[in-house]
Amino acid sequence: MEKKIRNIRIIINPASGKGESILPVINSCMKEAGIKWEASITHEAGDAIQFAKDAVKEGIDALAVYGGDGTVMEAISGLIGSEIPLVILPGGSANVMATELGIPNDLKEACELLGEGSLETKTIDVGQFDKRYFIARISVGFEADVVKGAERETKNKIGIFAYFFSAVAALKKSKKAVYHLKIDGQEHEVKGLACFITNTGNLGFSKISFDKHIDVSDGLLDVIVVRKANLSMFKLMVVTWLKRERPDNLELVEHWQGKDISVSSSPKQAAQCDGEVLGKMPLHIKVIPGAIKVLVPKKTGKG
């Protein structure tokens, strides 16, 4: 039996979202559910971390976040070490973690779950590097160029299509690099277009997944090097998704799992973490197993 939520803090990133009216939707859902709520509005990077820490001290039953993966990541950074569960209200242009956890992409639908007793607690892993955290993935190469190319203004206007257009542009100019990896003490050198160190299997904007076996709660991060990005790669991803099988086409991708991962590339490529461009290489990344509790929709009979 899940603990009844009576008191919730909602961190809202007003810069995210699709221009929908946020407060009236939240207000009517919370009223319906009999939940007392307060909102904190972020203005700059780091605000959500502080709001989350403050809310934990003040005592709440759950912390909700309306925003994209960046805001969710900040809230998690502030929540780690507490037992308070996170509620994700998808508001960003890419909601990797929300998609992964089966949280509806619609604000009203996501909010209504709170009142229906249709949520359960799921413990998930968090990645850590450089004294900071990530929930979805770090990538080097191709995807980092996509993130760089998708400007905030374009993202606001056309959402995921900004990523798509940027992806096409990035693909045209992507060059191969050699990735130097150290995974739990084992060294690997692989040539490819992109390297992902991922906690989640999905790409955030569709149900197409790298690999259905990537598990957000298994205490391991998955390391994937994409060797070629062409139609076969795309086909492989679709087939992987349909068959729910681990890709074994080593010509296209290589795949490892580990708890302690170092990555660098030569020549140096752009890197991104949950949508934010990173400057520093090499990256030393670790997993914190079961770092955080998230309220997710209860599995129905199908699951």
Min separation Cβ 218 and Mg ion, Å? 4
Among the residue ranges 84-92, 159-167, 218-226, 236-244, the one whose residues contact Mg ion (CB under 5 A): 218-226
**218 binding Mg ion? (CB under 5 A):** yes
| Identity of the residue, 81 or 289, whose beta carbon is nearer to Mg ion in the bound complex | 289
Min separation Cβ 290 and Mg ion, Å? 11
Min separation Cβ 247 and Mg ion, Å? 16
89 contacts 113 by C-beta, under 8 angstroms: no
Min separation Cβ 135 and Mg ion, Å? 11
Structure tokens at 287: 């997993």
Q: Site map for Mg ion, 132-151, x if CB under 5 A?
A: --------------------
Site for Mg ion in 219-248 (CB under 5 A): 220
171 contacts 259 by C-beta, under 8 angstroms: no
Q: How far apart are CA 41 and CA 109, in angstroms?
A: 21
Min separation Cβ 87 and Mg ion, Å? 22
Among the residue ranges 96-104, 214-222, 234-242, 292-300, the one whose residues contact Mg ion (CB under 5 A): 214-222
**Residues touching Mg ion: how many (CB under 5 A)?**
3
Min separation Cβ 96 and Mg ion, Å? 13
Among the residue ranges 48-56, 95-103, 108-116, 209-217, the one whose residues contact Mg ion (CB under 5 A): 209-217
| Identity of the residue, 60 or 294, whose beta carbon is nearer to Mg ion in the bound complex | 294
Instruction: Report CA-CA distances (Å) from 91 to 13, 67, 173, 237.
Output: 8, 4, 30, 26
| Identity of the residue, 34 or 289, whose beta carbon is nearer to Mg ion in the bound complex | 289
Q: Which residues sit at the interface with Mg ion, rule CB under 5 A?
A: 215, 218, 220
